[in-house]
Amino acid sequence: MDLKSLKERLKKYNNKDIIITDHTREQAEVRNIKIEEVIQNIMHPDKLVFAEEQKAKHKHEQKYNCYFAYAKDYYHRYIMVLDGKLIIVTIIGINRRWQKAIEDRR
């Protein structure tokens, strides 16, 4: 799925459709990332600059590695599974040039 299509799909989710795992909540707390901010990024994906599909465990799922840019040297990386609901598997806040990280992924 291309980036534009993924953004459109993400906009269709609302709070009750987004599942935050216990592991993700723990990561957010340790990394000082607000869960509400993560949810807003998903429902309003303006900051989404790169996404790559990953191999999902089940055929009916889609799994994505997504980069949400805040500045040249700060971004959030979310691993998400779309399966009717949207499950956030992991979140990471990264302090380095996101452009370089994305170039390395291509």
Q: What residue segments make up the domains of the chain, in order of their start?
A: 3-105
Q: Which amino acid is at 82?
A: L
pLDDT tens across the length of the chain (106 residues): 899 999 999 999 999 999 999 999 999 999 999 999 999 999 999 999 999 999 988 888 999 999 999 888 889 999 999 999 999 999 999 887 656 666 666 5
Q: Which amino acid is at 9?
A: R
- Rounded CA separation 98/79 (Å): 16
DSSP secondary structure letter of residue 97: -
> What is the Cα 81 distance to its own chain's centre?
9
- Rounded CA separation 38/68 (Å): 10
pTM: 0.85
- Rounded CA separation 34/5 (Å): 26
